[in-house]
A and B are shown apart, each in its own frame.
Chain A
Amino acid sequence: MISIRSFSKSYEDHTAVDNLNLEIPEHKITGIVGPNGAGKSTTLKSIVGLIKPTQGDILINNISIQKQPLRVKRIIGYMPEESAVYENMKVDDYLLFFASLYNVPKETAQKKITRLKSQLDLKDQLIAHLSKGMKRKLLIIRSLINDPDVLVYDEPISGIDPITTNFLLQFIKKLGKTVIISAHDLNRIEEICDYIVILHKGKVLSNDTVQKTMEKFGHTEYIVKYAKGTKTFTDKQKFFEFIQSHKILDIIENKPSLQQVFLERFKNEHN
């Protein structure tokens, strides 16, 4: 479990994250969303020890990242936003190198690499020759090389085609690990997330299940077809009143997606 306690991160001219308190449940997938500058990447990087908190602490399985960074790093698998890989290495060499840093025995690592490569349809070749989607697959394998308890994925599906995105998300879902994930394509992460945390200006705006989050922020649309035509309702009360007093031909319930909720909530942010 990830426990973020009173976590703040300030820079000279601004505060990226302001007194964040979060509990990320075990063996669930939690999505972190928010507009640019909300503090998503800062939070994720702090969880993996790349950024030091100005205040507060982050505990992974009750171990403080500040006090015992090496112990925490052993039980975390991280995938950065950028596909920053050593282009001159071959896939297997790259993965074996990271396995060695986590003290995974070479034989075990080799078996694991072979299995994961086969699952993700990746071949041993020069990394420079891999496509962007392939590099994301490589980074996912790298994040799993030490069999971590917690996976932290920063924008794992950015810039890759829908087929690969779908494939990767389903793969992540099947892992059954504690996963914290950030993404801009909210429609896609909605499919795999159990919980959604919405960050806004360094603060938590919402932390709930996907369903409850959408109920909280989204408005279901009811499109009613009746004898005289079609009418759309967003107000549940008025909708019920209408269907009781009219002869209805058809009703379409249009639930908002996470993306629509997000756009509705932050429609003024761009300005």
Chain B
Amino acid sequence: MNIIKIARKEFSNSSVDKRTVLIAIILVISILFFVPKDFNTKLYKVGTNDDTLLQILSNSKAIPVDLTTDFSFNSSDIRSDEPLQLDLHSDTILIESKINNPDYSYIDAYIINNGTSLNLIYGRSTRSKAAAKAVIDILVAYNEALYAHDFIYNKTAFNELYPVWIEIEDYDFRYNLSDQRPPPKEERMLSLSRNFNQPAAGIADFTLTSDEPTTPAKMSIAIPFKSLIFSLIILTPLIFISTSYVGSVINEKINKKGSLLLTAPLRLYEIIIGKTLPYITTCCVISLSVMAYLEPNQVLKIIPALMVIILAYFSLSFSLAIAARSYKEMSFFKTSFGSLLIAYLLIPTLFISITQFAYMSPLTTITQIMTGANVSLQQYIFSILPLTVFSIILYYVFSNLFNDEQFANQSLINKIINAVRIHKPYQLFLYSIAVYPIAVLAESVFLLLVVFPSKTIPILLLIIVAAVVEEILKNTGVRILMNNRKMHPIAAGLLAGLGFALAEKIILLFSIKELVQYYSYFIIPTFIIPFIIHSLTCISYAYTKRYWIPVLLHIAYNITVFMLLTQ
């Protein structure tokens, strides 16, 4: 109940003017209700008196054309001085240039079958020309489909039209990593080529791996345009609304407005959830409304992944607001870390056709579901698990810093050490398991930002980054436990090492099922050795209280493994 009270206050006390919010809501609703879903179709009115063409044009979904037969054609409508023919059996299509009949001026273009030829008639306006082009595109596409059909089943003169054939093979990595194995390549080729009698003269041993052959003019790089659209629909409101959220949290902190809430008879979680709820709800409502409008059948499936994205972004925003000591620092943090998280979410969606690891981003899962692709439960969990753990840890740690004492300008490291409560050995073990996904996230962001753009893997840099990230995360737990209680450094190191190595292997096994078999044969090198090395680095820290020592040990180990593997 208190959560609702705070949420209501948060909503009414929002720094955004209520009229602005109202206008924004009305605008969104207007767009959803008044703009037709197929607003980009039926842009042009095209008429024809030919039944075959009518069928071809009506079946096409690619081009915005609205057909009409609501006219009668008189040959006098065509200016006899410029009769041009539309030849369906050639890529060269000739276009008529005038619409003379004023009765049909509302039609942008029409195709007339006068018994001997097809005539495409259009006006001089830009709209009319665009309509004519749309018609041509439909007919060219139809021609190609017809040729392809002819090529596969009858293999007639098509080879003469296109004497050079290029085989494009789309290798789907997903099949390697899941149970959905595709038929072997030979089988697929056979199914497509079983109706061929023999290769055409001059073209030796051509194969097809795609269902539909196409011409070079129609080939383009597969830009995941739809994926980008879905991603932006989710990320845009998230960025704007989280900015308002950050402002609210940092206001409580810097202006000490939170002190009064903290002296009220409220639990900390009620304050945090109450403050967060209005923003998260607004984000969800906006994203889900637009998604439901676009793909109503898929929207339920994306809710968990969407929630994880929103939770991750808000947990990061909350943490940064708590960590920052000023509005200026906050802007810097929000811009830099926010961009990293967006990179982590967005970049993998572009690589879905290349690598299974694109599923490390829940945004990939959402865009895949929204575009009608199948996402297995394993892929779904793989995409949401690390960010879920990451968000929960961030909220847990930084919620503990949401108090008057921590509002003071302490160093961030001290704040975090105060916030992470490790008092018992088992808590260190659990901490080490829980921070592993954060290490994965940090390393993944590095991979996305450095490795993908450079196209080559700077192995040494990767080794150093991995060692620094992992050792800082692990040994901070060791440091906190040893600050809070007396414990033997070896015992602390072993606990931290065990937790981290275990989490590392569980996530790896979870993401790549095939490794299970591999592990049963190589259990010693794949678990025992990482466990030993993680423990050793933690023990070295527990004794020395210096982060750079375990980092150096880790780097040395990684380099040794790399050299052994490459020999």
What are 25 inter-chain pairs, A to B, with CB distance below 8 A? A12-B414, A45-B404, A48-B263, A49-B262, A50-B404, A50-B405, A51-B404, A51-B405, A70-B267, A74-B265, A76-B263, A78-B259, A78-B263, A80-B259, A82-B256, A84-B257, A84-B258, A84-B259, A86-B9, A86-B257, A88-B13, A89-B9, A97-B9, A101-B2, A102-B264
Chain B residues within an 8 Å CB radius of A82 = 255-256, 259
- Distance between Cα atoms of A73 and B271 in the complex (Å): 15
Contacts beyond the supplied A82-B256, A85-B260, A97-B9: 20 A-B pairs with Cβ under 8 Å: A12-B414, A48-B263, A49-B262, A49-B263, A50-B404, A51-B404, A73-B265, A78-B260, A80-B256, A80-B259, A80-B260, A82-B259, A84-B256, A86-B257, A88-B15, A97-B5, A101-B261, A102-B264, A102-B265, A142-B260
Asked whether B412 is an interface residue with its Cβ less than 8 Å from the other chain, the reply is no
> Which B388-420 residues sit within 8 Å CB-CB of chain A?
403-405, 410, 414
Chain A residue at minimal CB-CB distance from B18: A88
A73 touches B263 (CB 8 A): yes
Per-residue B-contact encoding for A88-107, CB less than 8 Å = 1, 0 else: 11000100011011100000
Q: In the assembled complex, how far is the CB of residue B83 from the closest CB belonging to chain A, in whole angstroms?
A: 72
Asked whether B14 is an interface residue with its Cβ less than 8 Å from the other chain, the reply is yes
A89 touches B259 (CB 8 A): no
Chain A residues within an 8 Å CB radius of B6 = 101
- Distance between Cα atoms of A54 and B259 in the complex (Å): 20
Per-residue A-contact encoding for B257-284, CB less than 8 Å = 1, 0 else: 1111111111100000000000000000
- Distance between Cα atoms of A80 and B256 in the complex (Å): 9
Per-residue B-contact encoding for A43-65, CB less than 8 Å = 1, 0 else: 00100111110000000000000
Q: In the assembled complex, how far is the CB of residue A159 from the closest CB belonging to chain B, in whole angstroms?
A: 15
Asked whether B156 is an interface residue with its Cβ less than 8 Å from the other chain, the reply is no
- Distance between Cα atoms of A73 and B414 in the complex (Å): 28
Chain B residues within an 8 Å CB radius of A102 = 264-265
- Distance between Cα atoms of A53 and B265 in the complex (Å): 19
Asked whether B215 is an interface residue with its Cβ less than 8 Å from the other chain, the reply is no
Pick the residue among A70, A89, A142 that contacts B265 (CB under 8 A): A70
A89 touches B13 (CB 8 A): yes
- Distance between Cα atoms of A89 and B262 in the complex (Å): 19
Say yes or no: A50-B9 contact (C-beta < 8 A), given A12-B414, A84-B256, A84-B257: no
A50 touches B5 (CB 8 A): no
Chain B residues within an 8 Å CB radius of A100 = 5
Asked whether B12 is an interface residue with its Cβ less than 8 Å from the other chain, the reply is yes
Chain B residues within an 8 Å CB radius of A48 = 263
Chain B residue at minimal CB-CB distance from A154: B259
Q: In the assembled complex, how far is the CB of residue A150 from the closest CB belonging to chain B, in whole angstroms?
A: 12
Pick the residue among B15, B255, B257, B265 that contacts A101 (CB under 8 A): B265
Chain B residues within an 8 Å CB radius of A89 = 9, 12-13
Chain B residues within an 8 Å CB radius of A70 = 265-267
Chain A residue at minimal CB-CB distance from B252: A84
- Distance between Cα atoms of A82 and B9 in the complex (Å): 21
Q: In the assembled complex, how far is the CB of residue B501 from the closest CB belonging to chain A, in whole angstroms?
A: 33
Chain B residue at minimal CB-CB distance from A74: B265
- Distance between Cα atoms of A12 and B405 in the complex (Å): 13
Chain B residue at minimal CB-CB distance from A78: B263
Chain B residues within an 8 Å CB radius of A76 = 263
Chain A CB count within 10 A is highest, among B2, B262, B264, for B264
> Which B1-39 residues sit within 8 Å CB-CB of chain A?
2, 5-6, 9, 12-15
Interface size class of A (residues with CB under 8 A): 20 to 34
Chain B residues within an 8 Å CB radius of A52 = 405
Q: Which chain A residues have a beta carbon within 8 Å of chain B's beta carbons?
A: 12, 45, 48-52, 70-71, 73-74, 76, 78, 80, 82, 84-86, 88-89, 93, 97-98, 100-102, 142
Say yes or no: A101-B5 contact (C-beta < 8 A), given A50-B404, A80-B256, A88-B15: yes
- Distance between Cα atoms of A74 and B267 in the complex (Å): 12
Chain A residue at minimal CB-CB distance from B4: A100
- Distance between Cα atoms of A84 and B255 in the complex (Å): 6
A73 touches B13 (CB 8 A): no
Chain B residues within an 8 Å CB radius of A78 = 259-260, 263
- Distance between Cα atoms of A50 and B405 in the complex (Å): 7
Q: In the assembled complex, how far is the CB of residue B405 from the closest CB belonging to chain A, in whole angstroms?
A: 5
Q: In the assembled complex, how far is the CB of residue A222 from the closest CB belonging to chain B, in whole angstroms?
A: 47
Say yes or no: A85-B257 contact (C-beta < 8 A), given A49-B263, A98-B264: yes
- Distance between Cα atoms of A12 and B261 in the complex (Å): 26
Q: In the assembled complex, how far is the CB of residue A257 from the closest CB belonging to chain B, in whole angstroms?
A: 31
Pick the residue among B2, B260, B266 that contacts A84 (CB under 8 A): B260
B264 touches A50 (CB 8 A): no
- Distance between Cα atoms of A258 and B261 in the complex (Å): 34
Chain B residues within an 8 Å CB radius of A50 = 259, 262-263, 403-405
Chain A residue at minimal CB-CB distance from B403: A50
Chain A residues within an 8 Å CB radius of B404 = 45, 50-51
Q: In the assembled complex, how far is the CB of residue B375 from the closest CB belonging to chain A, in whole angstroms?
A: 43
Q: In the assembled complex, how far is the CB of residue A49 from the closest CB belonging to chain B, in whole angstroms?
A: 6
Chain B residue at minimal CB-CB distance from A139: B260
Chain B residues within an 8 Å CB radius of A12 = 410, 414
- Distance between Cα atoms of A70 and B2 in the complex (Å): 13
Q: In the assembled complex, how far is the CB of residue A85 from the closest CB belonging to chain B, in whole angstroms?
A: 7
Pick the residue among B14, B263, B264 that contacts A88 (CB under 8 A): B14
Q: In the assembled complex, how far is the CB of residue A98 from the closest CB belonging to chain B, in whole angstroms?
A: 7
Q: In the assembled complex, how far is the CB of residue A146 from the closest CB belonging to chain B, in whole angstroms?
A: 8
Chain B residues within an 8 Å CB radius of A85 = 257, 260
- Distance between Cα atoms of A88 and B16 in the complex (Å): 10
- Distance between Cα atoms of A102 and B6 in the complex (Å): 12
A101 touches B264 (CB 8 A): yes
Chain B residues within an 8 Å CB radius of A97 = 5, 9
Chain A residue at minimal CB-CB distance from B15: A88
- Distance between Cα atoms of A86 and B410 in the complex (Å): 25
The 8 closest A-B pairs by CB, nearest first: A50-B404, A84-B257, A73-B265, A101-B264, A84-B256, A78-B263, A70-B265, A48-B263
Chain B residue at minimal CB-CB distance from A97: B9
Chain A residues within an 8 Å CB radius of B403 = 50
A101 touches B259 (CB 8 A): no
Chain B residues within an 8 Å CB radius of A84 = 255-260
Chain B residues within an 8 Å CB radius of A74 = 265
Chain A residues within an 8 Å CB radius of B13 = 86, 88-89
Chain B residues within an 8 Å CB radius of A93 = 12
Q: In the assembled complex, how far is the CB of residue B418 from the closest CB belonging to chain A, in whole angstroms?
A: 10
> Which B47-71 residues sit within 8 Å CB-CB of chain A?
none
Q: In the assembled complex, how far is the CB of residue A167 from the closest CB belonging to chain B, in whole angstroms?
A: 22
A101 touches B266 (CB 8 A): yes
Chain B residues within an 8 Å CB radius of A73 = 263-265
Chain A CB count within 10 A is highest, among B6, B15, B255, for B255
